[in-house]
């Protein structure tokens, strides 16, 4: 069984996001060992300088990389990443499994994104869209797409 880790910068507070995450965590338990790791976003002033943003991203990157399981493939979510359809993501996940990659770690950064330190260690950079989404919603969307990928690969009717 594959291990999937989702590392997220920022804590969920809204009940409707928590309920959606809990639902996908429950559904995914049939397909993988899932771990969702929340990290605190570094606090910045209202109008941070680029130097302050860069320092915060570096600090967050170090926290992220500490939480990546050993030998896990790193898949950061970033706007410059490759956009895939759901069947394409399912195929990619299946290929990784066939190649012996039994541990995948998806990463969702904070409001300023991810430091290059994280992106440089990526097996694959993934983008959901060129549009911007709230990071809390992105967490639900990533979990749903991982679940959808497992369903597609299982040949279920979930993906129509």
pLDDT tens by residue, 72-128: 999 999 999 999 999 999 999 999 999 999 999 999 999 899 999 999 999 999 999
Q: Are strands 2-9 and 103-108 parallel, antiparallel or unpaired?
A: parallel
Inside any domain, residue 75: yes
Instruction: Confirm whether 160 is domain-assigned.
Output: no
Specify the pLDDT at position 159: 76
Range of the domain at 149: 2-153
Complete DSSP assignment for 48-74: --HHHHHHHHHHHHHHHHHHSPTTPEE
For 6-28, how does the pLDDT look when each residue is reduced to its tens digit (9 = 90+)? Answer: 999 999 999 999 999 999 999 99
132 pLDDT tier (thresholds 50, 70, 90): confident
Residue 131 forms part of a structural domain: yes
> What pLDDT, in 10s, does the model give residues 31-69?
999 999 999 999 999 999 999 999 999 999 999 999 999
Q: Is 87 part of a structural domain of the chain?
A: yes
Residue 120: which CATH number? 3.40.1280.10
Quickly state the pLDDT bin for 156 (edges 50, 70, 90): very high
Number of domains, the chain: 1
Q: Is residue 158 part of a domain?
A: no
C-beta of residue 125 within 8 angstroms of C-beta of residue 81:
yes
Residue 93 lies in a domain: yes
């Amino acid at each position: 069984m594959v291990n999937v880790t989702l590392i997220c910068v920022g804590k969920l507070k809204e009940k409707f996001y928590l309920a959606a995450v809990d639902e996908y965590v429950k559904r995914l338990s049939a397909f993988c060992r899932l771990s969702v790791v929340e990290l605190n976003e570094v606090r910045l002033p209202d109008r941070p300088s680029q130097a302050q943003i860069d320092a915060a991203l570096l600090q967050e990157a170090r926290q992220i990389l500490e939480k990546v399981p050993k030998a896990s493939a790193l898949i950061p979510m970033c706007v410059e990443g490759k956009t895939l359809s759901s069947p394409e993501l399912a195929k990619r996940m299946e290929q990784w499994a066939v190649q012996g990659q039994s541990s995948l770690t998806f990463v969702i950064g904070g409001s300023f994104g991810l430091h290059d330190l994280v992106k440089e260690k990526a097996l694959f950079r993934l983008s959901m869209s060129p549009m911007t989404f709230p990071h809390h919603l992105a967490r639900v969307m990533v979990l749903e797409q991982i679940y959808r990928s497992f369903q597609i690969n299982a040949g279920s009717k979930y993906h129509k």
